[in-house]
Amino acid sequence: MELLLEKIGAYSVAILFCLIVVIIYLRKQKRESKRVEEKIVQAKLDGMYEPVSLHPVVDEGSCIRTGACIAACPEHDILGIRNGKATTINASHCVGHGACFHACPTQAITLCIGTEKRGVELPHVNQTFETNVPGIYIAGELGGMGLIKNAVEQGRQAVDNIAKTIKKNHQATYDLIIIGAGPAGISASLNAKKHQLKFLTLEQDSLGGTVFTFPRSKIVMTSAMDVPLHGKIKLSETSKTELLDFWMTVLKKHAIDVTQNTKVESITPENGIFKIETSKCDQYTASTVLLAIGRRGSPRKLGVPGETLEKVAYRLLEAEEINGKDIMVVGGGDSAIESALLLADQNKVTLTYRSDAFSRIKPKNNTKIKEAIADGRINMMFNTNTVSIEKDSVIVSSGADKKELTIKNDLIYIFAGGELPTQFLQKIGIQITKKFGEAILKHN
C-alpha cells in the first residue's frame, strides 16, 4: 500500500511537472504569437507586409515550428512564428537569399515571385539569356533572380554565350555594349575582357549598382562567386565598402573603365546592329547588347536648368553625415517624406510638392510628416514647382499665382518617381509576362 501511494505521488509530481512545462510552453507561444501579430499589424501600416518581388511562402501543413527559417534569414523580421506556424511579417524586405528555404527541415518553404493580387513583370529570356529581340541579352536581377552571386554568375554566362555569336565583320563600333554596372554588369565586363571583345559599359549612376545604395552599416551576405579574370572568391559576410573596393580593384587591374553617370535612353535596331543613345546625347553602335539594369529603374528628372549641378541627388545615402545644411526635398511620395524626416534632425529642410496635399502615402509617414510640419521641423510648400537650380539657391514658383521665390539652398534631393525597367524593355520590344506568385525555388 505504501509503495502504491509512493508511486501515485511520484506520478502526480511527474504529471504536475509536465503540466507546468506545457503551460509555460503555451504561454510562451501565446506571447510570441502576440508579438508577431503586433509586428504584422505594424508591417501592414508601414506598407511592408505585401511582398514586392521574391518572398517565402510557408506551407502551414508542413511547418513544425522549428524556427530554423527565422534563425537562418540574415534580414530582419521577414518571418515570425504565429500560432505555432511560420508566417511572413515584412515580406517586402525579402531579398531572396533563400536561406529560409534551405534551412527548413520539413521543406515547408517555397520562394515565390509576385502574389495572386500583385503580379511581377518579368522579361522573356531563353537558356542563353537572349531575349525575343535577337542580339539583346539580359542578366542579373532584371531577369527575376535576386542576389549578388546570381547576378555575377548570370553576367558571366551571358557573355560566354554572346562571345560565341559575335560576327567578325559586323558594322558596329562595339561587339557588345553592357548597360548597368551592378554585380551582373561588372562580371559581364570582366568576362567580355577575358573574351577579348570590343565592349563598353554604361552606368546611369555609380559603379556597384544596388550594392552602392546599401547603408554603410549593412552586412552583405553572399556565397562563393566565380569572378571572371579573378577566379573564385569567398566573401560570406562582408561590408558594402569592402565589396565595392573589391570590384574597383579588379576592374582597375584589368584596365576596364566603366562610363558612369550616363543613362542609356534608347536602343534601336538598325541594319542588323543596335544604335544606343544616352543622356549625354552620345550615340554608340553595337553588335549585341547586354541589359544588366536590375529592377530599381531610373529616377525621373525635373528637366529644369541647373539639374546637372553636383548638389542635385535622386536618392539619399548616409543621411546622418549631412549636418547644418539648407536642404530642399522635392516630391510628395514616401521616399521624399522619409528623406525629409531623416534630414530634418540636423538640417534646415524645405519640402516642396506640386500638389495641394499628400496622397497614397504610408499612414506612418502621414502622421510623422504632419507632426514635423506642425512643430516647424519641416518647412512645407504645397503647390510648388522647381523653376531652376542655382549654386546657392533654388527658384520655385508657388501658389495659385505662381509667385517666384528664391530659397537659400546647399543640397536638393529630387524624388519625382521614375521609369520602371519594364517600361524601358517594352520600348525596345522585349516581351514581358506578369508572374502571379510563381515558384522560383521549390522542393520537388
Ligand X SMILES: Cc1cc2nc3c(=O)[nH]c(=O)nc-3n(C[C@H](O)[C@H](O)[C@H](O)COP(=O)(O)OP(=O)(O)OC[C@H]3O[C@@H](n4cnc5c(N)ncnc54)[C@H](O)[C@@H]3O)c2cc1C
Only segment of 25-33, 73-81, 376-384, 415-423 that touches ligand SF4 (CB under 6 A)? 73-81
> Closest by alpha carbon to 394, among 383, 402, 404?
404
Does 78 interact with ligand SF4 (rule: CB under 6 A)?
Answer: yes
Among 81, 197, 264, 327, binds ligand X (CB under 6 A): 264
Residue type, 428: I
The entry of ligand SF4, ligand X, none that residue 73 binds, CB within 5 to 8 Å by partner kind: ligand SF4
Does 75 interact with ligand SF4 (rule: CB under 6 A)?
Answer: yes
Only segment of 97-105, 228-236, 279-287, 347-355 that touches ligand SF4 (CB under 6 A)? 97-105
> Closest by alpha carbon to 184, among 136, 233, 146?
146
Which position has the grid cell 565586363?
A: 189
Does 100 interact with ligand SF4 (rule: CB under 6 A)?
Answer: yes
Does 94 interact with ligand SF4 (rule: CB under 6 A)?
Answer: yes
State how beta strands 237-239 and 231-233 pair.
unpaired
- Least Cβ distance, residue 81 to ligand X (angstroms): 23
Does 37 interact with ligand SF4 (rule: CB under 6 A)?
Answer: no
- Least Cβ distance, residue 353 to ligand SF4 (angstroms): 33
Which position has the grid cell 554588369?
A: 185
Q: In sequence order, what are the beta bridge partners of 411?
A: 327
Does 114 interact with ligand X (rule: CB under 6 A)?
Answer: no
> Closest by alpha carbon to 352, among 296, 391, 397?
397
Only segment of 18-26, 197-205, 316-324, 401-409 that touches ligand X (CB under 6 A)? 197-205
Does 182 interact with ligand X (rule: CB under 6 A)?
Answer: yes
Does 220 interact with ligand SF4 (rule: CB under 6 A)?
Answer: no
Among 95, 264, 394, 396, binds ligand SF4 (CB under 6 A): 95
Does 293 interact with ligand X (rule: CB under 6 A)?
Answer: yes
Does 98 interact with ligand SF4 (rule: CB under 6 A)?
Answer: yes
- Least Cβ distance, residue 212 to ligand X (angstroms): 7
Q: Which is nearer to ligand SF4, 57 or 235 (CB)?
A: 57
Among 202, 244, 349, 381, binds ligand X (CB under 6 A): 202
Question: Scanning residues 244 to 273, which ones bind ligand SF4 (CB under 6 A)?
Answer: none
Among 111, 221, 381, 440, binds ligand X (CB under 6 A): 221
Only segment of 3-11, 27-35, 209-217, 381-389 that touches ligand X (CB under 6 A)? 209-217
The entry of ligand SF4, ligand X, none that residue 172 binds, CB within 5 to 8 Å by partner kind: none
Only segment of 48-56, 214-222, 243-251, 328-336 that touches ligand X (CB under 6 A)? 214-222
The entry of ligand SF4, ligand X, none that residue 136 binds, CB within 5 to 8 Å by partner kind: none
Cell numbers that stand for 299 in this block: 529616377
Only segment of 7-15, 123-131, 202-210, 399-407 that touches ligand X (CB under 6 A)? 202-210
Point out which residues bind ligand X (CB under 6 A): 95, 140-142, 146-149, 151, 179-185, 202-205, 209-211, 220-222, 263-264, 292-294, 296, 298
- The binding site for ligand SF4 (CB under 6 A) comprises 56, 72-73, 75, 78-79, 94-100, 111
